[in-house]
Amino acid sequence: MDTRGRPLDEIRARLREARARDTPFASGRILGSMCTAPHPVALEAWRLFEEANLGDPHLVPGARALEEAALGSLGALLRAPPGGRGVFVTGGSEANLTAVLLALRKRGGREVVLPESAHFSFDKACSWLGLRQVTARVKADGTVDVDDVAERLGPQTACVVGIAGTTELGAVDDVPALGRVCAEAGVPLHVDAAWGGFVIPFARRLGRRLPEFDLAVPGVTTLGVDPHKMGLAPIPSGVLFARDARDFEPLAVPSPYVSVERQPTLQGTRNGAAPAATWAVMEHLGIEGYTQVVRQCLAVTDRLAKGLEAAGFPPAIPPPLSIVVFRVADPAQARARLREKGWLLSLAPLTGGLKVVVGPHVTAEAVDAFLEVLPSCAEAA
Ligand SMILES: Cc1ncc(COP(=O)(O)O)c(C=O)c1O
């Protein structure tokens, strides 16, 4: 920062130059992201509400009303019960941290039982909260072995985690079976549907055989979902639901100088643009619109899976949703070579391969172009 500042045109030029170095979703070359391009109506809503601070809601009753409406729609989609409550958070990491803390306050204990496939945000949550992770085995189909979970429960279990759409494979755990085990043991069950929450309900409508995973499943106590992933909302937008609104109470502290008496979530000052944008895109697309998005992603996934098979890189498992993982001799090297050619993929560390997440920004043309370059980048050195 200069003492006298700098002229606006200089700042704008520098901004454009920095942004030109980023890969936009519109390029179709981002193949490893759980997020995607926000819907234009979400960006429009964002711009309208970008200065709104929901930490002090009497300043922004309009933003507050949209927040409530967004939570209502999302609660209906995820079948939240009448006594439940949803809160906006910054994404899956904050939802998972908060859910583990809610469980800890509710039940006590020192351990979290979670699948090997759990997102690293649970490593953070457990490390920050001084809890021990007890890892349950994952089966060949990428879902957690529920019997193994049951065997790992004990007096120190604070909660169990189930995943509806794993980060690596998009696998959907058998949440009804986990719910039965947890209800019987009196242990809270948190479902991480950060990515899958905006995919599974629509894939089921399209006839995919996938387990139920939402708040109507007996035994599920909390559920996290990220509009900023497949909900097509801008970052950051996450939501955490608790089946029982009273579960949030132990986290709430008095917030005396602002216009809400108590705050139960991490953020103080918080963005009103996220709920407004989330409301706008949900209201605009509706169930049919999201179903269409998922239909397209599944079709492109199928094309990619077949193309990989033909090119000698068969998917590690048939894609449960719109994530494809395939093995290569040296994943880190292949990823680096693909990156040099402008293709951005993620590693799939549990499988030992590379991962493609087919969001709506990944077109059939992009997949065909990617399949052309893959063999030369993936062959052993
Ligand atoms: C299943 C799952 N949970 C949680 C997260 C963390 O979400 P965020 O990065 O938005 O905090 C991710 C991120 O990809 C995820 O895939």
Domain range summary for the chain, segments of one domain joined by +: 8-38+293-378, 41-282
Cross-strand bridge partners of residue 172: 164
CA atoms within 13 A on the CB side of 133: 19
Please give the number of the atom of ligand 1 that sits closest to the Cα of 193: 1
Would strands 111-115 and 132-136 be described as parallel, antiparallel, or unpaired? parallel
Structure confidence at residue 380 as a pLDDT band (50, 70, 90): low
How many CB atoms are closer than 10 A to CB 300? 22
Q: Which residues are registered as beta bridge partners of 159?
A: 112
Note the pLDDT of residue 379.
82
For the CA of 34, the closest atom of ligand 1 is 14
Residue 235 Cα: closest atom of ligand 1: 10
Phi-psi region of 202 (alpha: psi -120 to 50; beta: other; left: phi over 0): alpha
242, 280, 373 from 276: Cα distances, Å: 21, 6, 41
Instruction: Pick the atom of ligand 1 nearest to 92's CA.
Output: 7
pLDDT tens readout for residues 76-119: 999 999 999 999 999 999 999 999 999 999 999 999 999 999 99
Nearest CA to ligand 1 atom 7: 92
Can you tell me which atom of ligand 1 is nearest the CA of 163? 1
> Which protein residue's CA is at the shortest distance from atom 15 of ligand 1?
167
CA–centroid distance, 235 to ligand 1, in Å, is 12
Q: Residue whose CA is closest, atom 4 of ligand 1?
A: 92
Q: Which amino acid is at 349?
A: P
- Dump pLDDT digits (tens) for 260-303: 899 999 999 999 999 999 999 999 999 999 999 999 999 999 99
Query: What's the CA-to-centroid distance between 253 and ligand 1, angstroms?
Result: 27
Give the closest residue (by CA) to ligand 1 atom 6. 92
Closest atom of ligand 1 to CA, residue 166: 1
93 CA → ligand 1 middle, Å: 6
Ligand 1: distance of its center to the CA of 226 in Å?
Answer: 8
Share of the chain above pLDDT 90, in %: 98
Beta bridge partners of 193: 225
Contact present, 54 and 272 (Cβ < 8 Å): yes
The number of CA neighbours under 13 Å toward the Cβ of 27 is 13
Pocket of ligand 1 (CB under 6 A): 34, 91-93, 96, 119, 121, 163, 167, 192, 194-195, 226
The pLDDT tens digits of the residues spanning 302-336 come to 999 999 999 999 999 999 999 999 999 999 999 99
Residues 55, 268: contact at Cβ < 8 Å?
yes
8-38+293-378: in CATH 3.90.1150.10: yes
Closest ligand 1 atom to residue 229 Cα is 10
From the CA of 86, how far away is ligand 1's center (Å)?
Answer: 18
Asked whether the bond before 218 is cis by omega within 30 degrees of 0, the reply is no
Distance 277 CA to ligand 1 centre (A): 19
91 C-alpha to center of ligand 1: Å? 7
Ligand 1, closest atom to CA 35? 14
What three-state secondary structure class fits 337? helix
Atom of ligand 1 nearest to the CA of 93: 11
Ligand 1 centroid – CA 286 distance (Å) = 24
Give the bridge partners for 353, in sequence order: 327, 348
Q: Ligand 1 mean position to 60 CA, how many Å?
A: 29
The answer for residues whose C-beta is within 8 angstroms of residue 17's C-beta and 6 or more apart is: none
Percent of the chain whose predicted confidence (pLDDT) is above 70: 99
Query: Within 13 Å, how many C-alpha atoms sit on residue 112's CB side?
Result: 30
Reply yes or no on whether the pLDDT at 177 is more than 80: yes
Q: How far is the CA of 119 from the centre of ligand 1 (A)?
A: 6
Among 83, 88, 38, residue whose Cα is nearest residue 63 = 88
- The protein residue whose alpha carbon is closest to atom 10 in ligand 1 is 91
In this structure, which residue's CA is closest to atom 5 in ligand 1? 92
Residue 288 contacts by C-beta under 8 Å, 6 or more apart in sequence? none
- Which CATH architecture is the domain 41-282 placed in? 3-Layer(aba) Sandwich (3.40)
Amino acid at 208: R
Q: What are the φ/ψ torsions at residue 271 (nearest 5 degrees)?
A: -70, 125
Q: Which of 98, 114, 123, 195 to mutate to test the pocket of ligand 1 (most atoms within 8 A of CB)?
A: 195
Indicate if 41-282 has the same CATH topology as 8-38+293-378: no
Distance (Å, whole) CA 120 – CA 128: 12
Rg (CA), the chain: 21
